[in-house]
């Protein structure tokens, strides 16, 4: 009779154990490689976000200077008077003083505006960009720029680069009659006050134009990186590897200005080596863990583990914190007691956690509900003072009543919701404050459906939209109408209150629409505070059971729709 071939359980266990170690080692190496890749990618992603924010800030600054230059040259009455030849010198002096004051209060430590008179060969500016030495060179350069702005070949209405003494400037020129206005933006001063971000301390940062390198030319040459390697970013962002370095460049086509950051690839090695070192430590610990597990298994401790596992599952399913079937093994009995104690502790901690979560939600509601802009209150007090000086007693009384009602509403007991009728009364008071404090033709039209007066709504759910409509629509040519329509809608068998708000103004800017149409997480940002805080409060009160939509009407005007659940009968 043939006997079955015998085999060694220990031998097979050793083989399985060795196979597991090998597989786990290979997986650790693959994991380390992937983590190294994603670490470098994450680092570059963070840097890219920082650079995009930096370029956006630089572009915004240049755009603001362009707007100031064009506004002064096109519509400032002082500039217009000085640009004519018919006015007397005595009548020109006040305008000259006023224009210089406007420019003085606008200029910054990295940008100056100067205007020159072609008839008198005079240049007016404030030397805020001059260094403590080499003053004569800067004065001569400024006068030269002022004279060249009146020549037929002068570049007007767009930015261009020019070397002024020891600095490189971005220059924008406009002229009217005998007067020209030049905006000089110092790139060196700007970048010294607003350092350009870089992924490493050894990165080379360079500013370049369409035809030359402005800064760090020698450092780039030592890295074998030239202007063409940076200028591939024309129209956007460019990333490439050149001569063992990572080249990332950003270019602003409108201003003919770009920023390049060159980082040696060796700077990323610490990220890679760190991941592989952690992987080696982790693999070593894992091997030790497997060895320990293998040893314990060989000592027949599997049975107690199974008992403990079954007992844990029983607690998890029944939530019965008692030992109905104690184990015969003393160590397991102690483990069961510890598990029961731990389960009780976890239950208590969960209760505490829920209480803390509710408290946190309450605190957040208080914060978002009470977060206001202090300048509003200051403006109201100034308006009251002005009415007092003008002896507008009746108007002042109305203002005080409306303002006191508004304050009482803001600083009530911070409850989560108020009746709709009370919210609408607050809107009327707030409308009175806005109307009494302005000469705008601004109308408020409210239409609330029947039976909704006592329905609960979050406080100040309409105020921010009313304020924005009033604030961002001047009402000089047409009256501004802000309409509120409140109705009941049904969706998936549930009833919702739909608050539809719109005006006939200019509508939301695109960037604002993109920002306020996103779901938000808790934060303490300052942009779009009113609308953002409202969305935070809606999220706390209704979780995901609410909706909002913000868009612009085809005929013009901003439209905002908010739906919140109505109480179930």
pLDDT by position in tens, the chain (length 569): 455 666 555 566 667 777 777 777 777 777 777 777 777 777 778 888 888 888 889 889 889 989 998 998 888 888 888 888 877 778 888 888 888 888 888 888 888 888 888 888 778 888 777 776 777 777 887 888 888 877 878 888 888 888 887 778 888 888 888 888 888 898 888 888 888 888 888 888 888 888 888 888 888 888 888 888 787 644 567 788 888 888 888 888 888 888 888 888 877 777 667 666 777 777 777 777 767 766 666 555 455 666 666 667 776 676 666 676 776 666 666 777 777 777 777 766 766 666 566 556 555 555 555 554 444 566 667 667 767 777 777 777 777 877 777 777 666 655 578 888 988 988 888 788 777 767 778 888 999 888 888 899 888 888 878 888 887 777 556 788 899 999 999 888 889 999 999 998 888 888 888 888 876 554 445 545 677 777 888 888 888 888 888 999 888 889 999 999 998 77
Task: Tell me, rounded to whole angstroms, the distance of Cα 218 from its chain centroid.
Answer: 36
DSSP class of residue 266?
G
Neighbours of 204 (CB within 10 A): 21
Q: Which residues pair with 124 in a beta bridge?
A: 115
Report the Cα 359 to chain-centroid distance in Å.
27
Per-residue b or e along 292-326, where b marks 16 or more CB atoms closer than 10 Å to that residue's CB:
eeeeeeeeeeeeeeebbeebeebbeeeeeeeeeee
CB 541 within 8 A of CB 529: no
Handedness of CA 51, 57, 60, 61 (dihedral sign): negative
Domain ranges of the chain: 76-190, 308-370, 415-565
Burial of 454 (0-12, 13-18, 19+ CB in 10 A): exposed
Secondary element (H or E) of residue 254? none
For residue 194, the SS3 value is coil
Pairing of strands 480-491, 442-448: parallel
pLDDT at residue 487, as a whole number: 93
Alpha-carbon gap, residue 388 to 405, rounded angstroms: 20
pLDDT of res. 374:
46
Rg, C-alpha atoms of the chain? 35
Backbone angles phi, psi at 291, to 5 degrees: -60, -45
3-class secondary structure, 547: strand
- Give CA separation, 194 vs 54, 55, 369, 392, 522, in Å: 9, 11, 35, 49, 29
Nearest partner of 523 among 367, 354, 356, judged by Cα: 367
Q: Which residues contact 295 (CB under 8 A, 6 or more apart)?
A: none
Residue 178 has what pLDDT? 85
* Residue 563, CA distances (Å) to 500, 544, 545 in order: 9, 11, 9
H or E stretch covering 247: strand 245-252
| 244 sits in which H/E element | none
Q: Would you state the pLDDT for residue 524?
A: 45
CATH architecture of 415-565: 2-Layer Sandwich (3.30)
Length, in residues, of the chain: 569
Whole-angstrom distance, CA of residue 418 vs CA of residue 454: 8
Asked if 504 and 480 touch (Cβ cutoff 8 Å), the reply is yes
Q: Which backbone phi and psi does 514 adopt, to 5 degrees?
A: -60, -40
How many CA atoms are closer than 13 Å to the CA of 363, on its beta-carbon side?
A: 7
Per-residue confidence (pLDDT) for residue 565, from 0 to 100: 92
DSSP label at residue 568? P
Q: Which pLDDT value is given to residue 563?
A: 93
């Amino acid at each position: 009779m043939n006997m079955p071939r015998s085999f060694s359980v220990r031998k097979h266990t050793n083989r399985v154990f060795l196979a597991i170690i090998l597989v786990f080692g290979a997986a650790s190496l693959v994991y380390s490689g992937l983590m190294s890749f994603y670490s470098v990618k994450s680092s570059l992603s963070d840097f890219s976000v920082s650079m995009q924010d930096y370029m956006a800030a630089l572009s915004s600054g240049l755009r603001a200077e362009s707007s100031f230059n064009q506004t002064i040259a096109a519509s400032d009455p002082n500039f217009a008077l000085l640009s004519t030849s018919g006015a007397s010198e005595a009548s020109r002096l006040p305008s000259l003083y006023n224009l210089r004051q406007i420019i003085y209060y606008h200029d910054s430590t990295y940008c100056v505006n100067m205007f020159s008179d072609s008839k008198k060969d005079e240049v007016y500016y404030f030397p805020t960009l001059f260094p403590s030495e080499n003053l004569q060179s800067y004065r001569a350069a400024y006068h030269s720029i002022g004279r060249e702005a009146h020549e037929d070949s002068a570049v007007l209405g767009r930015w261009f680069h020019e070397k002024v003494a020891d600095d490189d400037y971005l220059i924008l020129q406009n002229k009217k009659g005998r007067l020209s206005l030049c905006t000089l933006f110092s790139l060196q001063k700007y970048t010294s006050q607003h350092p350009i971000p870089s992924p490493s301390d050894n990165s080379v940062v360079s500013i370049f134009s369409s035809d030359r390198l402005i800064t760090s030319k020698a450092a780039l040459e030592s890295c074998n990186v030239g202007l063409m390697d940076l200028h591939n970013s024309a129209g956007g962002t460019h990333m490439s590897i050149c001569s063992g370095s990572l080249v990332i460049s950003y270019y602003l086509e409108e201003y003919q200005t770009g920023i390049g950051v060159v980082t040696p690839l060796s700077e990323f090695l610490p990220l890679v080596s760190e991941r592989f070192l952690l992987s080696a430590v982790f693999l070593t610990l894992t091997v030790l863990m497997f060895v320990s597990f293998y040893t314990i298994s060989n000592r027949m401790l599997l049975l107690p583990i199974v008992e403990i596992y079954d007992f844990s599952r029983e607690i998890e399913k029944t939530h019965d914190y008692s030992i109905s079937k104690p184990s015969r093994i003393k160590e397991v009995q102690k483990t069961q007691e510890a598990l029961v104690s731990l389960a009780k502790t976890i239950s208590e901690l969960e209760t505490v956690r829920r209480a803390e979560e509710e408290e946190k939600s309450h605190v957040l509601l208080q914060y978002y509900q009470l977060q206001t802009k202090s300048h509003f209150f200051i403006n109201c007090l100034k308006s009251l003072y002005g009415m007092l000086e003008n002896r507008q007693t009746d108007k002042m009384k109305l203002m005080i009543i409306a303002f006191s009602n508004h304050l009482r509403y803001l600083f009530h007991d911070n409850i989560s919701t108020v009746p709709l009728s009370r919210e609408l009364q607050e809107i009327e008071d707030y409308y009175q404050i806005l109307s009494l404090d302005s000469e705008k033709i601004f109308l408020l039209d409210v239409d609330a459906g029947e039976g909704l007066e006592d329905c609960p709504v979050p406080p100040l759910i309409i105020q921010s939209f009313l304020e924005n409509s009033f604030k961002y629509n001047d009402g000089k040519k047409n009256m501004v109408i802000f309409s509120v329509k409140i109705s009941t809608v049904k969706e998936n068998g549930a009833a919702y209150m739909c608050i539809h708000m719109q005006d006939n103004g200019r509508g939301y800017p695109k960037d604002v629409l993109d920002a306020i149409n996103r779901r938000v997480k808790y934060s303490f940002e300052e942009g779009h505070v009113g609308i953002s805080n409202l969305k935070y409060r809606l999220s706390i009160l209704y979780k995901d059971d609410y909706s909002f939509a913000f868009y612009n009407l085809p005929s013009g005007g901003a439209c905002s729709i908010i739906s919140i659940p109505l109480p179930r009968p």
